Copies of this chain bind each other. A is one copy, B any other.
Amino acid sequence: MASMATLFMQTPNPTHSFPKYPKSHFGSGLKFSISVSKKSSKNYPKARIFNGLIEPDGGKLVELFVKESQRDVKKKEALTIPRIKLSRIDLQWVHVLSEGWASPLRGFMRESELLQTLHFASLKLEDGSVVNMSVPIVLAIDDAQKQQIGESDKIALFDSDDNLVAILSKIEIYKHHKEERIARTWGTTASGLPYVEEAISHTGNWLIGGDLEVIEPIKYSDGLDRFRLSPAELREEFTKRGADAVFAFQLRNPVHNGHALLMTDTRRRLLEMGYKNPVLLLHPLGGYTKADDVPLDWRMRQHEKVLEDGVLDPETTVVSIFPSPMHYAGPTEVQWHAKARINAGANFYIVGRDPAGMSHPVEKRDLYDADHGKKVLSMAPGLERLNILPFKVAAYDKTQSKMVFFDPSRPQDFVFISGTKMRTLAKNKENPPDGFMCPGGWKVLVEYYDSLVPSGNGRLPEAVPA
């Protein structure tokens, strides 16, 4: 959320205490839920009933894992069919698809699905109902690969280490109209869009869609796999906690106290609405991000400190990693971020200014109108069931000497600090305004910037604080 890039709050409140919660509260119960549910949940695709949680798109959560009893058969089959090597981002999409974040999608998009995504940000199901689907989930191949596939109706997908990942069957190969895909997804074709440069420009001129059968759950062995809960696992966790409302907070940057205030306040509002046990899904994005974002491992360390410091209540907070790559496609992408969380059981979605936005890669302006994200989200087909909670902007109120939600009727009482100022502070190992971020979390950020070797021009990646 570039939203908060320019808006965060300063408080000089020195009495703010940071009680040390036991470290196990971070992802509390999550390891357990993983270890218990993993085997049963991922062995074969099936419909699940999650009492009290919002229904997944299409009525049931689609998991695309091969039954354990079928694995050997599939592995043998994979040796006999054409093979395609997946990029890092391709693999992240296989992960996303395999766990049902994109339910009811059953694999990489065929052309009819891509066209609906590009033109309508939604898919029409056989029963006439509509689910949201705003970003293309497609697999590109080049001419040589297309020729190699020939008349085969299925292919095997391998990772960069030549491990078998999945089989794609009932395939459909169709043209990769890159310019049109980019224009309709991003609303610009300006050069320098991070995802485009990383995952589209140099890829092949064909797309291949089909039904995906994933041999076993995707793991990254980076020490963070235990935080990568699938939608099914999250639903089980919410059910176990007796959640009667789940509110999701997507982020791809360090958590500051403005976020915390927002999340705490959201829970308060939900309690006021009559919910007995609203649970927060604090859901950092774990797939591809651009080079100047804070990397996932540093963000997770920072989030951990925030929870340890007691800024958020671990008992009503589930921290998990959302495996999707980041498009930075603003109003188009925020729909994907929201839709995927429905599948994970969230019925409330917090949206800020300029969600999934960034600076225009060429012109000196934001790429998207900061208000379009929440407007588009509120009108998006297939998201009617989701309650959209627009951000209130928090800022430091000089008259109260604490952070509160900004009151536009008395702007002179508030202080905002820019993201550039923030980055400069972290880079110079200075402390932020009291109450901006818990000291432990701030320390992680300082360490991160300290770990970077400045590039030739001496510039460091920006610490965008939202």
Which residues on A are within 8 Å of B, measured CB to CB? 111-112, 115-116, 118-122, 124, 130, 175, 177, 179-180, 183-184, 186-190, 331-332, 368-369, 372, 375-376, 379-381
Partner of A115, one of B119, B188, B376: B376
Count copies of this chain in the complex. Answer: 2
Query: Could you tell me the distance between the alpha carbons of A123 and B401 in the complex, rounded to whole angstroms?
Result: 46
- Contact among B116, B124, B331 with A119 in the assembled complex (CB-CB below 8 Å): B331
By the criterion CB–CB under 8 Å, are A376 and B119 in contact? yes
- B130, B175, B190, B380: the one contacting A381 at CB < 8 Å is B130
Nearest 4 A/B pairs, CB to CB: A180-B187, A183-B183, A183-B187, A189-B189
Bound-state CA distance A59–B184 (Å) is: 31
Chain B residues positioned under 8 Å from A375 (CB to CB): 111-112, 115
- Between A and B, 12 residue pairs with Cβ closer than 8 Å are A115-B331, A115-B375, A119-B332, A120-B379, A175-B369, A177-B187, A179-B190, A183-B184, A183-B189, A184-B187, A189-B189, A381-B381
A381-B111 in contact given A184-B187, A189-B188 (Cβ < 8 Å) = no
Bound Cα distance from A332 to B184, whole angstroms: 11
> Which B residues touch A111, using CB under 8 A?
375
Given known contacts A112-B375, A124-B379, A189-B189, what 4 new A-B pairs fall within 8 Å (CB)? A115-B372, A175-B369, A183-B186, A183-B187
Q: How far does the Cβ of A292 sit from chain B's closest Cβ, in whole Å?
A: 23
In the complex, which residues of chain B have a beta carbon less than 8 angstroms from the beta carbon of A379?
112, 115-116, 119-120, 124
